[in-house]
């Protein structure tokens, strides 16, 4: 992994206003109390696993078939465009 991608992926773990360089670089542990207080308030235990991939569109409270319809419409549009262009090329040299 590149250093920038590591920095970006770990950037959300520690809120920047709580863990500033001045607080973290201090010699005593008392400067880390705001950070400890913040993390002690976070929920503990197993995280609920949300369905991933395409399943998240069809399961749950906000289930919808719009992504599937968009894929079907997109494939139809691409196919129709290719067919139309081929038809135009056919009529260029071979009129009816």
Q: Is residue 57 part of a domain?
A: yes
Q: Is residue 73 part of a domain?
A: yes
Determine the structural domain holding residue 26 and report its residue range: 5-87
Q: Is residue 80 part of a domain?
A: yes
Report the chain's mean pLDDT, rounded to a whole number: 76
Q: Is residue 28 part of a domain?
A: yes
User: Given pLDDT bands bounded at 50, 70 and 90, which one contains residue 62?
Assistant: confident
Lowest mean pLDDT among 22-26, 32-36, 56-60, 83-87: 22-26
Does residue 24 surpass a pLDDT of 70?
A: no
Provide the pLDDT for residue 16.
56
Name the domain count of the chain. Answer: 1
Residues 6+ apart with CB under 8 A from 23: 31, 32, 34, 35
Which pair of tokens denotes residue 14?
């520690």
Q: Is residue 12 part of a domain?
A: yes
Q: Are 31 and 23 in contact (CB under 8 A)?
A: yes
Q: Is residue 93 part of a domain?
A: no
Q: Is residue 53 part of a domain?
A: yes
Separation CA 27–CA 72 (nearest Å): 61
Q: What is the pTM of this model?
A: 0.41
Q: Are 70 and 60 in contact (CB under 8 A)?
A: no
Provide the pLDDT for residue 74.
97
Q: Is residue 49 part of a domain?
A: yes
């Amino acid at each position: 992994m590149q250093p920038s991608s590591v920095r970006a992926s770990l950037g959300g773990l520690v809120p920047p206003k709580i863990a500033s360089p001045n607080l973290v670089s201090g010699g005593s542990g008392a400067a880390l109390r705001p950070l400890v207080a913040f993390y002690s308030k976070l929920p503990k235990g197993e995280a609920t696993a949300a369905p991933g991939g395409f399943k998240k569109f069809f399961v749950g409270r906000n289930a919808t078939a719009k992504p599937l319809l968009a894929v079907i419409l997109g494939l139809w549009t691409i196919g129709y465009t290719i067919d139309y262009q081929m038809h135009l090329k056919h009529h260029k040299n071979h009129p009816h």
